[in-house]
């Protein structure tokens, strides 16, 4: 049995994937590990490149996009590590990040999951790498400017990102972009819940682990770059991603707080979308180019969210 299985789900992120694998093999040492890539593409060119450059990496071709949760579960079933690291393809491991996470996980018997500090491509902190469980307030007020202006407000759950504690701290949620978990606890928790196609599956897993009586922890000593958006660059994809994210959150609210709370969440998001659209129209007027009108990407996104909240788009 290996010490660690690193599972990467790829979907149209070929360039990022090769950078990710290069950073793993360059920096992960002193651990007996394996890498398993689940290709949700299909992307035969990427698969062939990985096979040539990284012959020790295991590759599973899913031949269709089965979603993040299901693809990770497929990778898990082919793995043998005592611990599992679920890693996005658009990440780059920095220094001894993986060894630090594995060491902290082994040291703390109550910890079942550990996450690290995720950095944007420009080196700034990605505040979404840890979160509190969703409430109507933190979802409606989930504006990055507010989070950065008052990061220590309890309902954000991001204070450890700025307090820089030496030891791992207990948090509600760590991002699935880089999430390490004990194998036995992952099995006890029922793996990733496959009703989530994309988004909220990491939140759901952290919730199930907490319900089992174990801790979810964060360490700022380990850092990983998360470029983000590697699979969703155009406007249409951003719009679809926004709807999927809200739908996944609705499912999580219904599962953990009941249908009434989920209905309140949908209504609150709709009102929030109306407010944001008004602000966008006020501060980002419609642009004209070559006789055509162009709305901002933010307007397109929140208009789609408003239609979703009204049940007009799914």
Q: With contact defined as beta carbons under 8 Å apart, do 62 and 188 qualify?
A: no
Question: Which of 260, 279, 258 minimizes the C-alpha distance to 268?
Answer: 260
How do residues 267-297 score in pLDDT, each as one tens digit?
A: 999 999 999 999 888 876 655 544 444 567 7
Residues 305, 273 contacting (CB under 8 angstroms): yes
Cα–chain center distance at 7: 14
Q: What is the pLDDT of residue 12?
A: 75
Q: Does pLDDT of 229 surpass 80?
A: no
Task: Select the more confidently predicted residue: 130 or 236.
Answer: 130
How does DSSP classify residue 217?
A: E
For residue 300, pLDDT over 90 is answered with no
Say what the alpha-carbon torsion angle 92, 94, 95, 96 is, to the nearest 10 degrees. Answer: -80
Distance CA 75, CA 197 (A): 16
End-to-end CA distance of the chain: 43
Cα dihedral: 42, 119, 2, 57 (round 10): 30
Percentage of the chain exceeding pLDDT 90: 68
Q: Across 55-166, where does the E strand assignment appear? A: 58-61, 83-87, 91-93, 111-119, 130-131
Query: Nearest to residue 230, comparing CAs of 118, 90, 93?
Result: 90
pLDDT digits (tens, 9 = 90+) for 102-158: 999 999 999 999 999 999 999 999 999 999 999 999 999 988 888 889 999 988 999
User: In the predicted model, is pLDDT for residue 314 greater than 60?
Assistant: yes
Do residues 3 and 102 touch, judged by C-beta distance below 8 A? Answer: yes
Q: List phi, psi (to 5°) of 166.
A: -70, -40
Q: What is the set of domains in the chain, with CATH numbers? A: 4-226 (3.90.550.10), 235-309 (no CATH)
CA–CA separation, 247 vs 19, rounded Å? 31
pLDDT for position 176: 96
- Mean pLDDT (the chain) is 90
- pLDDT in the model for residue 69: 95
Check residue 232 and give its pLDDT. 45
Give residue 236's pLDDT band: very low, low, confident or very high (50, 70, 90): low
The C-alpha atoms of residue 111 and residue 170 are separated, in whole angstroms, by 9
Give the three-state DSSP class for 158: coil
Q: What pLDDT was estimated at residue 43?
A: 66
pLDDT per residue over 17-39, tens digit each? 999 999 999 999 899 999 999 98
**Average of pLDDT values for 67-79?**
95
pLDDT(230) > 50: no
For 238-255, what is each residue's pLDDT tens digit?
A: 788 889 999 999 999 999
Q: Check residue 211 and give its pLDDT.
A: 97
Could you tell me the CA-to-CA distances from 57 to 1, 269, 313 in Å, in that order? 16, 42, 40
Cβ atoms 130, 169 nearer than 8 A: no
pLDDT attached to residue 41: 75
Q: Which residues of 205-239 are buried (b: 16+ CB within 10 A; e: fewer)?
A: bbbbbbeeebbbbbbbbbbbbbbbebbbeeeeebb
Listed residue (67, 101, 69) closest to 83, CA to CA:
101
Residue 86 pLDDT > 80, yes or no? yes
Whole-number Cα distances in Å, 286 to 267, 275, 279, 300: 27, 17, 12, 12
Q: What is the pLDDT of residue 290?
A: 47
Give the pLDDT mean for 70-79.
96
Is the pLDDT at 64 greater than 60? The verdict is yes
- For 189-205, how does the pLDDT look when each residue is reduced to its tens digit (9 = 90+)? 999 999 998 899 999 99
The pLDDT score that the predictor gives to residue 291 is 45
Chain centre distance of CA 225? 13
Residue 305 has pLDDT above 90, yes or no: yes
What is the spatial distance between Cα 209 and Cα 172, in angstroms, rounded to a whole number? 10
């Amino acid at each position: 049995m290996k010490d660690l299985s690193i599972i990467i789900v790829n979907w149209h992120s070929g360039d990022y994937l090769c950078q990710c694998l290069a950073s793993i093999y360059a920096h992960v040492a002193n651990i007996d590990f394996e890498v398993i890539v689940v290709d949700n593409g299909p992307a035969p060119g990427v698969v062939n490149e990985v096979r040539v450059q990284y012959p020790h990496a295991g590759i599973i071709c899913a031949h269709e996009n089965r979603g993040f949760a299901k693809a990770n579960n497929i990778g898990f079933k082919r793995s043998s590590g005592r611990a599992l690291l679920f890693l996005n393809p658009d990440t780059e491991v920095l220094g001894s990040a993986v060894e630090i996470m594995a060491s902290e996980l082994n040291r703390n018997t109550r910890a079942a999951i550990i996450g690290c500090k995720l950095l944007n491509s420009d080196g700034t902190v990605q505040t979404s790498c840890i979160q509190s469980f969703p409430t109507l307030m933190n979802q409606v007020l989930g504006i990055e400017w507010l989070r950065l202006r008052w990061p220590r407000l309890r309902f954000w759950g991001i204070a450890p990102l700025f307090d820089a504690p030496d030891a791992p701290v207990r948090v509600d949620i760590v991002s699935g972009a880089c999430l390490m978990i004990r194998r036995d606890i992952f099995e006890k928790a029922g793996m990733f819940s496959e009703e989530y196609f994309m988004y909220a599956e990491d939140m759901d897993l952290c919730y199930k682990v907490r319900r089992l009586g174990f801790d979810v922890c964060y360490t700022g000593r380990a850092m990983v770059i998360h470029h983000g958006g590697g699979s969703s660059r155009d406007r249409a994809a951003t719009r679809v991603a926004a709807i999927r994210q809200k739908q996944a959150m609705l499912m999580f609210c219904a599962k953990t707080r009941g249908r009434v709370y989920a209905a309140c969440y949908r209504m609150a998001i709709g009102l929030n979308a109306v407010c944001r659209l008004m602000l966008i129209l006020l501060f980002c007027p419609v642009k004209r180019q070559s006789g055509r009108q162009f709305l901002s990407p933010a307007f397109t996104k929140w208009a789609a969210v408003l239609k979703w909240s009204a049940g007009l788009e799914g």
